[in-house]
Amino acid sequence: MRIAALVTLLLVACGAAAYVYIERTPAPPPPVEVVQPANEDAWLDHLYHANPADVAAATSQVQQLGARALPLIHKTLQDPTASSEHVKAALKACGILGPAAAPAIDEVAEQLPDPTVTAEAAVALSFMGRGAFDPLREAAASDDSIVRREALRSIGKLKERAKLDPAAVVPLLIKSVTDADSGVRAVAVNYLGIIHGG
């Protein structure tokens, strides 16, 4: 009888201890819900935006899409009614994609004469690989000093990013040292110095 009472007492004590342990164990956190963009075109509205969080999310989406972003880039750059923000977003996406956006080089180069997006088009081309050199070289001979300046700046950046032969780049820069525009001259001298110093 005494042994049965002891066993009962031990079982009750063990049960209470197990109950306390179970009650004190924290519940696992609820699963984190990953919010996916509503569609693959959402980046176009947010890539060139004032809100840095929207820009970061759109940049991530473009990186994830990779070449699948190209159809919308083509469509936007070919659309004469596209808003300036959408065109800038498409150009920025080309820069993010880099050489993967090479199929859009000609369309990006066509944007260079448009003063509202000259800088953005030039920056995009500077990331898009060796194929961007020829259109940038042509733009460096433009009648528009802003186009010449931005084209030279992008050629200077492209030389490092795409490992261009200095023999192709240096003559352009030397010729531009005597340009009528002081901004073009400054860019030419700057990149000549970088190439010479490298």
Q: What's the CATH number where 48 sits?
A: 1.25.10.10
Task: Report if residue 14 sits inside a domain.
Answer: no
Task: Report if residue 162 sits inside a domain.
Answer: yes
Q: Is the whole-model pTM more than 0.75?
A: yes
Number of domains into which the chain is organized: 1
In SS3 terms, the chain reads as CHHHHHHHHHHHHHHHHHHHHHHHCCCCCCCCCCCCCCCCCCHHHHCCCCCHHHHHHHHHHHHHHHHHHHHHHHHHHHCCCCCHHHHHHHHHHHHHHHHHHHHHHHHHHCCCCCCCCHHHHHHHHHHCCHHHHHHHHHHCCCCCHHHHHHHHHHHHHHHHHCCCCHHHHHHHHHHHCCCCCHHHHHHHHHHHHHHHHC
* Percent with pLDDT over 70 in the chain: 80
Residue 96 has pLDDT above 80, yes or no: yes
Chain segment 102-118, per-residue pLDDT in tens: 999 999 999 999 999 99
| Sign of torsion over alpha carbons 174, 125, 132, 195 | positive
Both tokens of 185, joined, read 């001259």
Task: Report if residue 2 sits inside a domain.
Answer: no
Chain segment 4-28, per-residue pLDDT in tens: 554 455 445 555 444 444 445 555 5
Mean pLDDT of the chain: 86
Task: Report if residue 1 sits inside a domain.
Answer: no
| Residue span of the structural domain in which 107 resides | 40-197
Task: Report if residue 159 sits inside a domain.
Answer: yes
